[in-house]
Structure 1
Amino acid sequence: MKTIALNRLNILGIAKGNGLSQAHQLTFLAELAQLGYRITNPEILQEVSSTFLMDYKHLMSTLTKKRGGDVTYVPLFKKFPEQVPNDAVYFSKRIIGYIGNILDLFPDTVALENGIKVPKWLFNLKEFGADPISQMQSKELFDLAAAENISKNGDAHVEWINLRIVHDEDLADELKAYLARLVYSKSSIKEALHEDLYELLDFFGANDLDSDLIVFKETKALLMQYFWKKEEYQAVAQLAKTATDVLRLFAALTGSDVSLNQKIKFPKLPRKARKVVLAILEKSSGLAEDLNKYKGLWLEIGRYLHPFEYSKQYPRTAEVFDALRNGKIETYHSKTEQLLALAEVDALLKHLENKPGVYARKLHEVLRRFPKELDKILASFEKNIAKVALKNLLVMQAYFSEINEAAYRTVVNKKGKMKVLTNNAFAALSELQIDKVMLCIQKAIKTALTDKEPWNEETVWIDPELMNYTIPLQQRKSSDGILTVGKGSRIKTDFSKVLRLFIYWKQTAVRTDLDLSCIQFDEYFNYLGHVSYTQLFSNGIVHSGDVQSAPYGAAEFIDITMSKLKKKVRYLAVQVHKYSGEHFRDMDCHAGWMLRDKATSDIKTFDIKTVANKFDLNGVGGYAVPLMVDIAAQEIISTDLYVSSVQFHNNVEGSVNDVALLCAQLANFTKTRPVIGTLAQAHAAARNAQLTTYKENASITFGVKDCTYNATDVEQILTELI
């Protein structure tokens, strides 16, 4: 539990006691500072038990791992960034080395354990952290470089992370509140948090949770799995409302995808469990529609459920399975398309009113097809708009506000992949249509927020920076790391520092070669150049060298000095290519960025206290685009994308056009997606709060950090504000 509190809440739980001695306090604070952490309430150290020192090793290990300092980083070129060899000269020397090894031409060599013989006159091995000829890792060179790096001084700059001490008796309340935020979230939570959720449920149980507040279907599935394994079937039945809920339960039980975006497995069910499932199906709303949506899977499941054997107890379920088997089910979707094709407006609107969520998704198409029926359509839509989830209203508001101006539309699917679609002229709506739709949506948003607790006596401060943070509505496939923000969010960064990008990976079964790269674009996303393993230099950018295997854990770095970039460069797109080997998610693999005062080879290559963000690379794809840099705005843009490509040999040259298109859309996400700043303003207005321009005068604050509501407190935003 204390590890979860440290990793997720930056809370350090310590038992009450007589306090630490002054010497112990100073030592503890100094060792935290070396890792880039500081305590916001150090006075409480006078009230804690010294027994926490027994867990001191685990504490420091957890904090070290949080920032990526638990592994060893060894670049190919040990004198990076000042002494990186010329590409052409270095490549020529490698060719000589290859030929010499094949023909056994070299008499005076150093033999490495990988079988390569390196001539002393060709390469000075003291300058390399891996074999300079094959660029494969060598244990001897790795260990030597690691030992040398330990002895180096650290950078003067510190990217501080604040920790708060809480007494053990209060820690339980903090963790229970965190559990509630996970469970009551109005949107998907990161898959990386599922383990936390189960550990918290095992520790605290679920008796204090309100099942009526658990609204997100995937989260329901995780809760149902918890109850199912405890054979608390009544609790499962209380949560499961539809046949699709049952499928999500099956997915959770078998470790499949609870979003149902990929093929799922279903468990073997004993007789008692089969009857539980059939009872849920019997009372499910929209049973025929839901079964038909996953027809092949339900036909297969039906052979194990034996619904006809229990037809007397569950007659409706048996009847629907019979219709499913004989193809006699008319779906809601097919009926919708039929009414659209026949242009039967009145019947169509009445039909859509039965499913407000579908109506919201179809509204644009209905308006486009029947422009003369604007008032009738909006009157119909407003009948059930209160049933449309607030998050969907916010998305609609952002969507309709820009639909006529956008040349493209972007869709992020359940896999975390982004598709860019051409927004053709047929998608345009009239200004009158848009104005009336926007008024309708804004009214619904205000109504939804008015139902929350009023802030009549509260004064609210909203940081203008929150207009640069998108609402984190799609967290399912988000990378787990220090900073979690919505895709397309813009993080203000001190560009007077050297920005050092890094990646680390350690292969498990086969040789794996990942490549850290950086593409330069102008303000219109025209290609201006790149830095990668094929080109180690560009103005203001330098690469640490290409390591092509990772049995001991490989690392690559790119240093970016903003003041030295070409004047035309506006954006930098960071990529990690899978050239060969294992997928990102199948090994220990993470990346991030540091901010450095002094980027020289006599300073630690990886200095933990300078790490601004470290995040796991856990997706599947030919390459990842984890972040962008906007030079003019001095902001890092969170992209967190995995892009499908060829299975092997991915590189910058083969992806420039696709990356340009994707990044051009992501650079505009704060204009095309709902942002936290607008949400905060809507809350303040609807809940009747008084706004102030001074943070110190506010009783409720919205900001990036150290506020009542922070841009990085994703679960709180998704639970309390959505």
Structure 2
Amino acid sequence: MAHTLESLVLRHTHRLPSPKGSAGDGAAAARQFDVALTSVGFKLSAELLERLSGLSRAAVVHTAARTLRTVREMVGDHVRHNAYFIDFPANVPDTEEFWTRCVTKALRDDTSRENVLTQLAHGVLDLLSLPAYGRYQHTYEELLAAQDELIASAGDRVTVLHLGRDLDTELTELYLSLAGSTTPLGGDHLLDLRTLAGRCVLGPHPEPIPVRENRAVVNEARLALGADLLLDTVTDVLRLACALSGGDVTLREPTRFRALPRPARRALLAGLDAVVAANPAKLADVHAHREAFKRLGERLHPHEYPRWPHAADVFAVARGEKEARSFDSRVAMLLDESDVPGAVRLLASAPGKLFRALDHLLRIAADQGERDAVLAAAVRVAPQVSGRVVLSLREHLGNRRRDTGRPRVFVNRSGRGWVTPDVRPPVPAADRDRLIAALDAEIRARLPAPARLLLDADILDVALPLSGRATTGGLGVLPRGSLSAVGGEHLRFFVYWKETEARTDYDLSALLLHADYSTDSWLSYTRLEGIGGVHSGDVTEAPDGATEFIDLSLRRVTGAFIVPQVNIYHGEGFEKVEESFFGFMLRDAEQKGRPFEPRTVRAKSELRGAGRVALPLVFRRENDGRWRAKWLHLYLKGISSANRVEDNRLSVSKVVRAVVERESLTVRYLTDLMSGDTTAEQWRAGDPIPEEPVTYIGLERPEGLHPDSQVIILGNLRDLIPG
């Protein structure tokens, strides 16, 4: 268990909790550990190396084994990445030549000859019936023996592991950071919060816990330990019931409620009763999840507990036996009547809802007087609105500055994306700009004013993580809409998957688009070479795991956009397979090495969305010829089977255009607001480190920062979002 918790801290913070063990001379073992880390793109900080050197050799070896296992998993090196063509990226054949070769081998095989001849006689050939197609023809060890050793490059990734404090302190700090997050967490982080809450929930806790699903996970732990529950809406109780049943606390997917033990039933009913007794208007919240409350009532048996009559009212509303008019229905009625002043007065009592309705209110207002009233109400309630909602509206209004008619992208909680034309009338420019100025002032007032601000230039174009669902778990993964530089001459991306039960075939493809988003060309299992790149070959099943690669020479690519995609041709979805992830590597022209070299991996992103086509990111050629990546984290619905890049070119290009042309609020926006009365300096690796405490914002923590410095890096970037 200690290793699991240590690994959790390491994944989130890149800090190794202070290693324990008897004192001794572990310097030699520590240096060997550092060399081993280098092979997977990591290294020990000087402080951590010194700490390990003072421990016994046995303690260092024990720490090294645990840590190497964790970092290999972080970068995707915990599995074997074989390639269908043993010499990949060299000697990849022409597609038709390869298929002919497979047919020739099948005709020489007594077990397959007759079947292949029959198919050929009918003019249709199933590639999967060919013994040499889609299945590795060599072992992983044979692949390694056939590849040259990697030539080290100064451009290879190096991620520094820092010395942390003792394990309990690190766990408590991480628990406080996740539980108190001002933005929703992604699925992996929510699971980590559950683990941390089980250990830390009776200690210090954040006040408040603003994100409701985080609160549900914390309440689950508090209930198990007999602590008071944190409830102020009936939906809080519903989320807790979902957690107790192993269901979805985000309420995105329906939960099959379990038969709960009597103490849990009493706690849930008492919680409902207390919430409604304190504010009967909270009954209106039941309507948003009526069916879920009906099913929950069947498990809780409220009629057995007459001492909690308000809890029974909750289920009476769900069944339609008691009236509780919802807030949203009252607002909708006023809007249907075009009663903007009435809607504004009502919405002012729910500031978050008012902010979400501002665009609509400004568009339907009858005259400037009504628009002025809308803006005045927004400014008046702005201090009561969460920072995430304020920033979301600011981003929305920034994109409303453009002409209408451009594509509009929608993304649900599962990462499913779709595009429609933007047919909304424009928001009057003067009103929009007044609101933008007011929002900027509100955000500026909430931001800290550090004495000295140190900025890593590489993080400035990273999109603000307004939702943890706009990213995934992994290494070097940036929120949706972020931009990052792409160096090196060769781009190689990959997908790995391992099926759970059914035969599963994922196909890695690359769609190349012109500057106007029309199709240039593509690489896939049906087109193994061309456009400056090669495909590693089609693998059609993955009982032991499988990997496909695409290697591209960025100098030879003719298109303006490179869109990697993972198509599910057959079998289990991204949320059903045992494991699946996407990543990309960057290499210089002279570098050789295996198809997968962990220290050249720039990003590894888990694939866990709803849909049959995954679009992790897009590579874009800038006007100066350099390439940058823009993160998408999108999934398209696709079809149930046989998804192919050739068939989804139009839908993919529409989604790519919508995201590429959308302007995200970035770290640069906040730091510009923050640095009004602050000394702000850009910092790059190799620059001197100030001796005094600073506020540092960057992708990774540099070595040598003063211990009292406030550090915001990719792992805790959510802490930059004001409450």
Is the 2:197–2:217 Cα contact (8 Å) retained in structure 1? no
Q: What residue is the counterpart of 2:308 in the other structure?
A: 314
SS at match of 1:629: strand
Task: Tell me the alpha carbon deviations over residues 356-394 of structure 1, each in whole angstroms, 9 at most, x when there is no partner.
Answer: 111111111111101511111122223322111111111
Q: What residue is the counterpart of 1:717 in the other structure?
A: 718
Q: What residue is the counterpart of 1:554 in the other structure?
A: 546
- Decide which moves more: 584-593 or 553-562: 584-593
Task: Tell me the alpha carbon deviations over residues 598-621 of structure 1, each in whole angstroms, 9 at most, x when there is no partner.
Answer: 578x73222222222222222232
Is the 1:186–1:719 Cα contact (8 Å) retained in structure 2? no
State how 1:178-217 maps to structure 2 within 5 Å.
Answer: 178-210=174-206, 212-217=207-212
* Count, aligned residues: 679
Q: What residue is the counterpart of 1:243 in the other structure?
A: 234
Q: What residue is the counterpart of 2:588 in the other structure?
A: 597
Residue identity opposite 1:7 in structure 2: R
Q: What residue is the counterpart of 1:393 in the other structure?
A: 390
The structure 2 residue matched to 1:278, chosen from 269, 277, 284, is 269
1:153 aligns with 2:149: yes
State how 1:344-363 maps to structure 2 within 5 Å.
Answer: 344-363=339-358
Q: What 5-or-longer segments of structure 1 have no aligned partner? A: 107-114, 118-129
1:626 aligns with 2:616: yes
State how 1:504-653 maps to structure 2 within 5 Å.
Answer: 504-566=496-558, 569-585=559-575, 586-598=577-589, 603-632=593-622, 633-653=626-646
State how 1:304-453 maps to structure 2 within 5 Å.
Answer: 304-311=299-306, 313-324=307-318, 325-326=320-321, 328-372=323-367, 373-405=370-402, 407-424=406-423, 426-449=424-447
- Decide which moves more: 692-701 or 44-53: 692-701
Residue identity opposite 1:137 in structure 2: R
SS at match of 1:294: helix
Residue identity opposite 1:393 in structure 2: V
Q: What residue is the counterpart of 1:123 in the other structure?
A: none
Task: Tell me the alpha carbon deviations over residues 307-334 of structure 1, each in whole angstroms, 9 at most, x when there is no partner.
Answer: 34544x3333434543443363322111
Query: 1:162 Cα shift?
Result: 2.9
Query: 1:719 Cα shift?
Result: 6.3
SS at match of 1:472: coil
Q: Using the alignment, how far apart are the partners of 1:21 and 1:645 within structure 2?
A: 55
RMSD: 2.9
The structure 2 residue matched to 1:47, chosen from 32, 45, 54, is 54
SS at match of 2:228: helix
Q: Using the alignment, how far apart are the partners of 1:714 and 1:27 within structure 2?
A: 27
Q: What residue is the counterpart of 2:125 in the other structure?
A: none
Residue identity opposite 1:508 in structure 2: T
- Decide which moves more: 70-79 or 314-323: 314-323
Q: What residue is the counterpart of 1:33 in the other structure?
A: 38
1:266 aligns with 2:257: yes
Query: 1:565 Cα shift?
Result: 1.4
Q: Using the alignment, how far apart are the partners of 1:344 and 1:297 within structure 2?
A: 33
Task: Tell me the alpha carbon deviations over residues 270-308 of structure 1, each in whole angstroms, 9 at most, x when there is no partner.
Answer: 444333222222232443211122122222323443434
Q: What 5-or-longer segments of structure 2 have no aligned partner? A: 118-127, 703-708
Structure 1 residues 155 and 631, CA gap change in structure 2 (3 angstroms): farther
Query: 1:203 Cα shift?
Result: 3.7
Query: 1:501 Cα shift?
Result: 1.0
Q: What residue is the counterpart of 1:166 in the other structure?
A: 163
SS at match of 2:537: coil
Q: Using the alignment, how far apart are the partners of 2:134 and 2:509 within structure 1?
A: 19
Structure 1 residues 84 and 409, CA gap change in structure 2 (3 angstroms): same
Is the 1:622–1:647 Cα contact (8 Å) retained in structure 2? yes
Task: Tell me the alpha carbon deviations over residues 581-614 of structure 1, each in whole angstroms, 9 at most, x when there is no partner.
Answer: 11223222222111223578x7322222222222
Residue identity opposite 2:553 in structure 1: T
Q: Using the alignment, how far apart are the partners of 1:11 and 1:49 within structure 2?
A: 21
1:299 aligns with 2:294: yes
Structure 1 residues 86 and 146, CA gap change in structure 2 (3 angstroms): closer
SS at match of 1:641: strand
Q: Using the alignment, how far apart are the partners of 2:344 and 2:609 within structure 1?
A: 41
Q: Using the alignment, how far apart are the partners of 1:343 and 1:105 within structure 2?
A: 74
Could you state the TM-score of these two structures normalised by the residue count of structure 2? 0.87
- Percent identical pairs in the alignment equals 23
Residue identity opposite 1:11 in structure 2: R
Task: Tell me the alpha carbon deviations over residues 627-676 of structure 1, each in whole angstroms, 9 at most, x when there is no partner.
Answer: 2111224212222222211111001011111111111122234x2x2211
Structure 1 residues 203 and 523, CA gap change in structure 2 (3 angstroms): same
Task: Tell me the alpha carbon deviations over residues 185-209 of structure 1, each in whole angstroms, 9 at most, x when there is no partner.
Answer: 0111121123432333344443211
Q: Using the alignment, how far apart are the partners of 1:514 and 1:248 within structure 2?
A: 35
Task: Tell me the alpha carbon deviations over residues 2-41 of structure 1, each in whole angstroms, 9 at most, x when there is no partner.
Answer: 2223322222342265453543343222222222221221
Structure 1 residues 693 and 584, CA gap change in structure 2 (3 angstroms): closer
Q: Using the alignment, how far apart are the partners of 1:276 and 1:61 within structure 2?
A: 41
Query: 1:58 Cα shift?
Result: 2.8
- Decide which moves more: 46-55 or 2-11: 46-55
